[in-house]
Structure 1
Amino acid sequence: MRLALIVFAILTGTACGANAQHLKSTKGHENNPYYSNTDTKHLAVSDAEWKKILSPALYATAREQATERPFTGQYWDKNARGTYYCAVCGNELFRSDAKFASNCGWPSFYQAVRKNSVIYKEDNSVGMQRTEVICARCDSHLGHIFDDGPPPTGKRFCMNSISLDFQPDGLGK
């Protein structure tokens, strides 16, 4: 069985660790009644409710705007083909074909999967003027956007890995 899993990981282009991380990250969603890869309706969930549902690390990033340390998240250097979803609510956010190696230490994308999947908010914290990227479905912090990305948009969506779930192509939703 183990050999079959290793062969599957090699054939699908996902490293065993990357696939295991995906399964681990989505496993906890059975206790999250708000998680859906297909529902796009805006959620009105209190931070107190999210705190009961989310892991402490995800809560800190998604609800309290914490940032994971660079080069530590599971997706910053992954190149597998698939779709990235909000780890809090399952909202579809980015496709891997919009991901690029920015070498900033966080996963970077040049565009969101659709115009209304994320929203933007001015962020003047930590003595910098930035634009925060928020999940349009659950209002969770994902990261920031900068104007130093590649064509065709010139944008760099600099996201926290912990705020993302990844579904490799071919595994279904």
Structure 2
Amino acid sequence: MKNLIKISVVLALGTCASGKMEAQRTQTVNGKNVVNPYYSRTNTNALKLPDATWKKVLNANLYSVARKGDTEMAFTGKYNDFDGIGTYYCGSCGNALFKSDAKFSSTCGWPSFFETIRPKSVIYRKDTSYNMERTEVLCGRCEAHLGHVFDDGPKPTKKRFCMNSIALEFEAMAKISK
């Protein structure tokens, strides 16, 4: 990405159709705070939205990666060396993607995981960009570009899901009080 802009992301609580409290994602888009109405951590129904709609609710950096397939620079993402305990969600739509116990240190410069939270959390697409053949990983709900998967990870899967931090949102596991 040529220009980096200041990213302001706020997770607030709102109610979903079931009446339960749910995180909402607010971002600064074109200088205005915008709530993403498509962000849900409970809804797993597929989202088929036009590009113009995503451009209105995602900040420029997330839009560039998630909708245009760009990649953040290695070793710069907020989750590269992060070791919090919790769940990683799609930054575009809130779909649950990975648990922290599947994260490992791969030294590749991006956060890496050896398995998804559930089989349909992500989908795959052949990527032949940059004269390489890779497997692109997309969000299973909104088809946001997350990164790529490789066959050089640890057991038991031997997979390395190499993800862009900006395409992820992390929620720490709630502390259990006695």
Give TM-score scaled by structure 1 length. 0.83
**Match for residue 44 of structure 2?**
40
Kindly report structure 1 stretches of 4+ aligned residues shifted beyond 4 Å: none
Residues 75-113 of structure 1 show CA distances to partners (whole Å, capped at 9, x for unaligned) of 011011000000000000000000000000000000000
Distance (Å, rounded) in 2 between the aligned partners of 1:45 and 1:141: 14
1:129 aligns with 2:129: no
Q: Which has the higher contact order (CA 8 A, sep 6+)?
A: 1
For 2:25, the aligned partner's letter is H
Q: Could you list the per-position Cα deviations for residues 5-43 of structure 1 after superposition, in whole angstroms to 9, with x for gaps in the alignment?
A: xxxxxxxxxxxxxxxxxx945368141110000100001
Contact 2:110 2:165 in 1 (8 A): yes
- Is the 1:25–1:165 Cα contact (8 Å) retained in structure 2? no
SS in 1 for 2:89: strand
2 CA distance for matches of 1:170 and 1:72? 27
1:116 aligns with 120
Please tell me the residue identity of whatever aligns with 1:132.
E
- Three-state SS of the structure 1 residue aligned to 2:88 is strand
The code of the aligned residue for 2:159 comes to K
Q: Structure 1: which 5+ runs fail to align?
A: 1-22
2:11 partner amino acid: T
Q: Answer 1 or 2: which has greater helix percent.
A: 1
Q: Distance in 1 between matches of 2:73 and 2:11?
A: 22
TM-score (norm 2): 0.81
1:26 aligns to 2:22 (yes or no): no
Contact 2:137 2:149 in 1 (8 A): yes
CA-based RMSD: 1.4
- Does structure 2 retain, via aligned residues, the 8 Å contact 1:76–1:106? yes
Aligned residue for 1:102, secondary structure, equals: coil
Unaligned runs of 5+ in 2: 1-7, 13-23, 27-34
Aligned pairs, how many? 149
Between 24-33 and 57-66, the greater mean CA deviation after superposition: 24-33
Secondary structure in 1 matching 2:119:
coil
Aligned counterparts of 1:26 and 1:68: Cα–Cα separation in 2: 22
The equivalent residue for 1:57 is 61
Greater fraction of residues in strand: 2
Q: Distance in 2 between matches of 1:164 and 1:156?
A: 16
